[in-house]
Chain A
Amino acid sequence: MNHGTHELVEHLFRAESGRMLAALVRILGARRIELAEEAVQDALVRALRTWPIRGVPTNPRAWLATAAKNAALDQLRRARETDDHESELVVWSVREGRSFELVHDDELADDTLRMMFLCCHPDVPEEARATLILKTVGGFHVKEIARAYLATEEAIAQRLVRAKRRLVEGGASFEWPPEAELAERYDAVLEALYLLFNEGYSACSGEELLRADCLKEALRLASLLATHPATRSPKVDALVALMCFQASRSRARVDDAGNVLLLEDQDRRLWDRALIARGFRHLERATVANELTTYHVEAGIAACHAAAPNFEATDWERIVYFYDLALERNDSPVVRLNRAVAIAERDGNWAALAELDELEHHPRMARFFLFFAVRGELERRAGRNDRAQRAFERALELPCTAPERELVQRRLARCTGSAPTIFGTTGKR
């Protein structure tokens, strides 16, 4: 056998497919994004057919880059396009052949960042941006994205096709956004990563491992923005801090039976201390300027939880303060609802119920699952079981995820007194 058998780095194919795609799009132009995707897929399939017999080559990345270059050239010729990109493709694949250390990290990061900016081009529909990043930068397959985010493959595939068509038709460029558009595009990228992270974090019924991978990818990309000289900012530091704090609780937030555990029921020994420390480092950097964004506020709240040794020791005063800051920026009923939960811990259930009374007539709350779930819990704690029951029952009529439904059903069972058999959590109260 000619090849040695080298261990492949975990997720190498996923990472390489993102890197190769970005390089190919840089060389061939954004309008050939689909050709580039096919070339990457060809290269990976070629490896899949060859490496099982010949073994893994000494330099897998160089092998893949050469295969992708050849596939791209084949396709250009087949499409009878001028191959004036040939020399650039050759230079790229040769460069990949050199040892990893010789390739400048910034150069690699630059392609990845530009790809993210392309995915968040104004021509791309907002709801497709995070998906497009996962697919193109992250190297995730349509079916993996579908499984992680509980969508159908067709829906994801269609979203991607539409997004790419818009990019091609609009003539979007892979170049760094012009100065005048940079701020807006930058915010769009942060927003997409935030969504990517949040949707993955709250979609509790998707496939656990895949979802964790998607979250990690969002964190990796946000960290890249936070460390690259051209893109770092207090804002992105706040976003990374928020992601670190949230991600640190991944292992504690679901019990063995798959039930979602709220903060008060989580075993804090399972929180990832290294991630929390990383979160605080970014939070510190996020506060060097006087800028205050939604990410700052959310990271601040998450930091209060991360810093508390147990639920009782949580600094609710500070959390309420952060919610007040959030309300100054954006007076939304959802923020008010969250603030009411903090008020309950700080000032007691009756104070929180008074807040809810004020919110009750807001049209958005009338059909909001969480409003009734919170109301039910506060009523139950206040000893008004009949009211609690009505609120929980109303909550169950509204759209929510399966784990949320289960959580409310468990709470409902507690206040109606029927002994539930599916208790996954330890009922502390």
Chain B
Amino acid sequence: MNQYLILLHDRKDFGSDLSPEDMQRIIGEYVAWSERLRSAGKLLGGEKLCDGEGKVLREKSGKATVTDGPFSEGKEVVGGYFLIQAESYEEALGLCRGNPHTKYGGTLELRRIEVLDGH
């Protein structure tokens, strides 16, 4: 069994033009999705990253820089992640389907967590 990370790239302005009723409905859709995965034993965890803050560290010709970010670049930021388990990318993709994130303008990035023997 492999572990996969689902990175949720959010639209930065997501939610600002939604009605309270819409917001509640959308939350319900996500919760229904995670409940389905959880009851199938596929969902291992998930966390939300803090909005509007973060640091980016870089080094160029021996000079270290720290900037606020990464929210200055592009319209999307990683807002959080889910950790799931699946046999294959195919199965993991199937599990991603039905997650409402893409429907509301976000992007899902699916990555397998590498496991090396002997580590």
Residues of A within 8 A of B21 (CB): 11, 13-14, 139-141, 144
Give 1 or 0 for each of B5-20: 1 = CB within 8 Å of chain A CB: 0001010001110111
Residues of B within 8 A of A144 (CB): 19, 21
Q: For the complex, what is the distance from the CA of A50 to the CA of B8, rounded to whole Å? A: 12
| B-side interface size class | 20 to 34
Q: Is the CB of A52 within 8 A of B19?
A: no
Closest CB in chain A relative to B97 CB, distance in Å: 16
Q: Is the CB of B22 within 8 A of A52?
A: no
Q: For the complex, what is the distance from the CA of A56 to the CA of B100, rounded to whole Å? A: 16
Q: Is the CB of A51 within 8 A of B20?
A: no
Q: Write the chain A residue with the least CB distance to B24.
A: A13
Q: Is the CB of A56 within 8 A of B15?
A: no
Q: Which of B1-42 contact A (CB under 8 A)?
A: 8, 10, 14-16, 18-24, 26-28, 30-31, 34-35
Residues of A within 8 A of B19 (CB): 14, 140-141, 143-144
The answer, yes or no, to whether B46 is at the interface (CB within 8 Å) is yes
Contact among B8, B20, B26 for A53, CB-based, below 8 A: B8
Q: Is the CB of B14 within 8 A of A48?
A: yes
Q: Write the chain B residue with the least CB distance to A143.
A: B19
Residues of A within 8 A of B15 (CB): 44-45, 48-49
Q: Is the CB of B47 within 8 A of A16?
A: no
Contact among A1, A41, A44, A141 for B45, CB-based, below 8 A: A1
Closest CB in chain B relative to A346 CB, distance in Å: 45
Contact among B18, B34, B35 for A48, CB-based, below 8 A: B18
Q: For the complex, what is the distance from the CA of A50 to the CA of B28, rounded to whole Å? A: 12
Residues of A within 8 A of B26 (CB): 48, 52
Q: For the complex, what is the distance from the CA of A140 to the CA of B19, rounded to whole Å? A: 7
Closest CB in chain A relative to B89 CB, distance in Å: 22
Q: Is the CB of A5 within 8 A of B35?
A: yes
Q: Write the chain A residue with the least CB distance to B82.
A: A53
Residues of B within 8 A of A44 (CB): 15, 20, 23
The answer, yes or no, to whether A8 is at the interface (CB within 8 Å) is yes
The answer, yes or no, to whether B51 is at the interface (CB within 8 Å) is yes
| A-side interface size class | 20 to 34
Contact among B20, B31, B48, B82 for A5, CB-based, below 8 A: B31
Q: Write the chain A residue with the least CB distance to B19.
A: A141
Q: Is the CB of B46 within 8 A of A139?
A: no
Q: Is the CB of A53 within 8 A of B23?
A: no
Most chain A beta-carbon contacts within 10 A, residue among B10, B15, B23, B45: B23
Q: Which of B65-80 contact A (CB under 8 A)?
A: 79-80
Closest CB in chain A relative to B23 CB, distance in Å: 5
The answer, yes or no, to whether A54 is at the interface (CB within 8 Å) is yes
- Given contacts A1-B46, A53-B47, A53-B48, is CB(A48)–CB(B31) below 8 Å? no
The answer, yes or no, to whether A12 is at the interface (CB within 8 Å) is yes
Closest CB in chain B relative to A60 CB, distance in Å: 10
Contact among B20, B28, B30, B31 for A17, CB-based, below 8 A: B20
Q: Is the CB of A52 within 8 A of B10?
A: no
Residues of B within 8 A of A51 (CB): 27, 30-31
Give 1 or 0 for each of A41-75: 1 = CB within 8 Å of chain B CB: 10011111111111110000000000000000000
Q: For the complex, what is the distance from the CA of A49 to the CA of B9, rounded to whole Å? A: 11
- Given contacts A53-B8, A54-B48, is CB(A45)–CB(B20) below 8 Å? no
Q: Is the CB of B20 within 8 A of A52?
A: no
Most chain A beta-carbon contacts within 10 A, residue among B8, B24, B35: B24
Q: Is the CB of A8 within 8 A of B24?
A: yes
Most chain B beta-carbon contacts within 10 A, residue among A16, A49, A56: A49
Closest CB in chain B relative to A220 CB, distance in Å: 15
Q: Is the CB of B20 within 8 A of A139?
A: yes
Q: For the complex, what is the distance from the CA of A51 to the CA of B35, rounded to whole Å? A: 13
Closest CB in chain A relative to B24 CB, distance in Å: 4
Q: Is the CB of A8 within 8 A of B27?
A: yes
Q: Write the chain B residue with the least CB distance to A138.
A: B20
Give 1 or 0 for each of A311-332: 1 = CB within 8 Å of chain B CB: 0000000000000000000000
Residues of A within 8 A of B34 (CB): 5, 52, 55
Give 1 or 0 for each of A1-38: 1 = CB within 8 Å of chain B CB: 10001001001111011000000000000000000000
Q: For the complex, what is the distance from the CA of A124 to the CA of B81, rounded to whole Å? A: 47
Residues of A within 8 A of B18 (CB): 45, 48, 141
Contact among B47, B79, B82 for A49, CB-based, below 8 A: B79
Q: For the complex, what is the distance from the CA of A415 to the CA of B51, rounded to whole Å? A: 67
- Given contacts A5-B35, A47-B27, A48-B14, is CB(A13)–CB(B47) below 8 Å? no
20 interchain pairs, CB-CB under 8 A: A5-B35, A8-B28, A12-B24, A13-B21, A13-B23, A14-B24, A41-B16, A48-B15, A49-B15, A51-B30, A52-B31, A52-B100, A53-B8, A53-B46, A53-B47, A53-B80, A54-B47, A55-B31, A139-B20, A144-B19
Q: A13-B24, A141-B22 are in contact. List 11 more A-B contacts (CB 8 A).
A: A1-B46, A13-B21, A44-B23, A45-B15, A47-B23, A49-B15, A53-B47, A53-B81, A54-B48, A141-B19, A141-B20
